[in-house]
Chains A and B, each alone.
Chain A
């Protein structure tokens, strides 16, 4: 197995008296899809926010390629190759889908201060934006204002913007939330395709999707890691079943596994 790209050591986040993340240690490796499961309030989004720098940590360390990045701001983490998407769609509404991705790709341009050059005329940036739109299946709506896209397409754009920055680590916060069956199916395909070239942390409530793409699953409860391991181990774990899925159900991923989902259509091919 390859060396971990991004790792946390005893990461803790407190909001006043509430401990949202307690002593969380996990490792993300290239070529591995690491899924994060847990009921609402387990601290999954908090962990992503700590990793992306959107929130400062209370204690513990974050290490990226042997470098301590605990104190780096969000834009610096993005620049070294950690890209994130948001659970609540966070795009540039008035801009076209293409401009959303072009802007994302522009952030990697070496000379941003050349104020007499044409932003639209940089071939490398255009190509990166087009490739990201293509990967997310948005080429057909590239010229439409992002705010006018369907909810599912906006979710795809959310991912496409991250891809346009060519990150090594992908932190994806519920990419399937609120998607219809077709869109979710396409997103799962995309996640599968991205898996081999990235280190991915995937927060997702859709069990079918998680078990379809994850190489490692970590289950969190009340801000703590309950169990971490390959899908088969998680599926069989009595502790996980007890804490998260309810005792008397079959294993997650089997039919009828009732995991909380945030909206969208039910059962789908995986």
Chain B
């Protein structure tokens, strides 16, 4: 346990040191990865802890991103705190409504209806004036972090944006840790392990699943918002099924049900992508191969690596 905390503290120090290296490219790249890490962690609550495998998590990401694009004034910077709250609220609310329908179905059907809902959002933003069509929307100004005239940081500066996203990542992690420690978190794990028994013990399982779906969606919206703020541009592809697939892949790569797995997975995913893109224009072939190999030979994900390298416990197969 202490070793785990040490590793966590060291990783945090390492992350905090990235901008000090002075490479604008890597600062922005790692900012992007940390946003994806928040996104993957939010999905982990659903997949890794509640046992609901969603293939439509990009819907929340897209809604968070589009909220900024649609509420931001055209010729002025938007207020960061206000629009951030609106994005989280919008994504949470949309997830609540979608959740009412989807938490009733199980297994592969859950996968299909979440995918269908995400595709519906994709088409709404792709084909209607509401979402301003397939070309997407530019956000001309970075959100403004001022509170009553005082400006603590400037998201226009990559280093400031970097540390802001790092703080959001740490806060999201802390929030989820607290949540998982709570009665709600324990009940969600129970549902993943044995939904039927949870029901017969008196838990209103659907309501718990809906809570999980809503919270995961709100956090996914937070990630989407950060992405829109960083890139200053949104388009309907944010809702796309490959976006949902990618975040699921990150989670599987890093390891389900550990929170840190999502973070590790996001880094591994982007690192592999960068690596193979530098090597060949047909990068998707070795990229896919690498993911297949990792999943086959490391089914617990990269986050399970330290435990695997340690000598196995004598008690046998039940210590997972």
Contacts and interface: CB of A to CB of B under 8 A. Distances in A.
Contact of A112 (B184, B199, B320): B184
B190 A74 contact: no
B183 A165 contact: no
B204 A91 contact: no
A75 B183 contact: no
A117 interface: yes
B178 A74 contact: no
Contacts of A230: none
B194 A114 contact: no
A74 B185 CA distance: 22
Contact of B193 (A74, A93, A117): A93
Given A92-B190, A94-B320, A117-B182, 19 more contacts: A52-B200, A54-B200, A73-B199, A74-B199, A74-B200, A75-B202, A75-B203, A90-B197, A92-B194, A95-B189, A95-B190, A99-B186, A102-B186, A103-B198, A107-B203, A148-B315, A161-B197, A161-B201, A165-B201
Interface of A: 52, 54, 73-75, 78-79, 84, 86, 90-95, 99, 102-104, 106-109, 112-120, 122, 145, 147-148, 161, 165
Interface in B297-320: 315-316, 318-320
28 contacts: A52-B200, A54-B200, A74-B199, A75-B203, A78-B200, A78-B202, A79-B202, A86-B200, A90-B196, A92-B190, A94-B320, A95-B193, A103-B187, A103-B198, A103-B201, A104-B201, A106-B187, A112-B183, A115-B184, A115-B185, A118-B181, A119-B181, A119-B183, A119-B185, A119-B186, A122-B183, A145-B319, A165-B202
Contacts of B318: 94, 145, 147-148
B217 to A, nearest CB: 16
A75 B200 contact: yes
Q: Secondary structure of the B side of the interface?
A: helix
The 5 closest A-B pairs by CB, nearest first: A78-B202, A107-B202, A148-B318, A119-B183, A119-B186
Interface string B190-217: 1001101111111111000001000000
Q: Secondary structure of the A side of the interface?
A: loop
Contacts of B202: 75, 78-79, 107-108, 165
A95 B316 CA distance: 15
Contacts of A115: 178-179, 182, 184-185
Given A94-B193, A116-B178, A148 B316 contact: yes
Contacts of B205: 75
A34 B66 CA distance: 62
Contacts of B200: 52, 54, 74-75, 78, 84, 86, 90
A128 B82 CA distance: 45
A92 B202 CA distance: 15
A113 B184 contact: yes
Contacts of A113: 184, 211
Contacts of A145: 318-319
Nearest to B205: A75
A4 to B, nearest CB: 22
A75 B187 contact: no
A42 B187 CA distance: 36
Nearest to B193: A92
Nearest to B179: A115
Contacts of A75: 199-205
A116 B215 CA distance: 14
B307 to A, nearest CB: 15
A73 B202 CA distance: 10
A111 to B, nearest CB: 8
A206 B86 CA distance: 63
A52 B199 CA distance: 11
B182 A119 contact: yes
A119 B184 CA distance: 8
